[in-house]
Amino acid sequence: MRRTRALAAAATAVAALGLAAPAAVARDGMPGLSNIVAMPSVIARGGQLTITVDGCPQGGTATSDAFRPTTLTPVPGGSTARGTATVHHHARPGAHSITVNCGGMTLTKPNAFTVIGGVQGGLGGSSSTGATPTDMAIGGGLIALAVVGGGVFWMRRRSEKRV
């Protein structure tokens, strides 16, 4: 009885392995694009983005709406290709996809990287022409206050020595 159970279990395992093996060989034996990686994943406008693709031994092209088409060159000793893209200065903030074309195969990775934009500054206190008259008045007042405070402190110290 035990022998029959063990034999049945072994036969089931062999059958499961026999059915799964052709599928595994077909998948591993057929090369294809996989794993598009964009580094850094969050980048500012005008920054450089490194794109790495597995399964692209001859090289190819990467495209996105955030940068010009970029050539991917093969990495020696593997089936990986890599390229560097410069993000447009006018790229819209948010997530962007990358599409890779390599040897007639195409793969798209949605939301591969995120472009960050400038902040909404409003009418803050920024100026691009230097100090304003208000800045000069405030700075001058602080210097005058420091001179008066230093003079008072020095006069008090001087009078303490006489006593």
- CB 51 within 8 Å of CB 66: no
Three state DSSP letters for the chain: CHHHHHHHHHHHHHHHHHHHHHHHHHHHHCCCCEEEEEECCEEECCCEEEEEEECCCCCEEEEECCEEEEEEEECCCCCEEEEEEEECCCCCCEEEEEEEEECCEEEEEEEEEEEECCCCCCCCCCCCCCCCHHHHHHHHHHHHHHHHHHHHHHHHHHHHHHC
Inform me whether the pLDDT recorded for 23 exceeds 70.
Answer: no
pLDDT, position 161: 64
Output b/e per residue, 103-119; b: 16+ Cβ within 10 A. Answer: eeeebebeebbebeeee
Report which residue type is found at 141: G
Q: Which residue has the higher pLDDT, 11 or 73?
A: 73
Nearby residues of 64 by Cβ (< 8 Å), 6 or more positions away: 85, 96, 97, 98, 99, 112
pLDDT average, residue stretch 7-25: 43
* Structure confidence at residue 108 as a pLDDT band (50, 70, 90): very high
pLDDT, position 42: 93
pLDDT, position 65: 94
Q: Which residue has the higher pLDDT, 26 or 121?
A: 121
Place of tokens 């955030």: 66
pLDDT, position 22: 38
Q: Alpha-carbon distance 87 to 25, whole Å?
A: 40
Rounded to 5 degrees, φ, ψ at 149 are -60, -40
Render pLDDT for 123-153 as a digit per residue (tens, 0 to 9): 555 555 667 788 889 999 999 999 999 888 8
- CB 41 within 8 Å of CB 114: yes
Render pLDDT for 60-102 as a digit per residue (tens, 0 to 9): 999 999 999 999 999 998 889 999 999 999 999 999 999 999 9
pLDDT, position 20: 43
pLDDT, position 30: 38
Render pLDDT for 29-63 as a digit per residue (tens, 0 to 9): 335 778 899 999 999 999 999 999 999 888 899 99
Q: Which CATH topology does 32-116 take? A: Immunoglobulin-like (2.60.40)
* Structure confidence at residue 117 as a pLDDT band (50, 70, 90): confident
